[in-house]
Homo-oligomer: A and B are copies of this chain.
């Protein structure tokens, strides 16, 4: 069973990396780009477990290790 975890900054948190990339894109001629936000995509091979166990584990993994829940939010999809 495979899962994709998306960890992104909370909307209230500034994203200097995203701003830098937006500036670079604007300079390269993509002047229509208004905003850029950078996050993490974490692909996890979970082995042979049930979907219920996978969901429980993924929440725990995000809370304990994959996301800094003070400044980040997370969502995941099980594939």
A residues sitting closer than 8 Å to B (CB atoms) are 6-8, 18, 21, 24-25, 28, 30, 32-49, 57, 60-61, 64-66
Main SS at interface, chain A: mixed
Contact A66 to B32, CB < 8 A, known contacts A39-B40, A40-B39, A43-B8: no
Contact B6 A61 (CB under 8 A): no
Q: How many copies does the complex hold?
A: 2
One of B36, B42, B47 near A34 (C-beta < 8 A): B47
With the chains together, A65 CA to B38 CA distance in Å? 14
Contact A36 B41 (CB under 8 A): no
Q: What are the nearest 10 A-B pairs in CB distance?
A: A35-B45, A39-B41, A32-B47, A34-B45, A37-B43, A41-B41, A34-B47, A36-B44, A6-B41, A32-B49
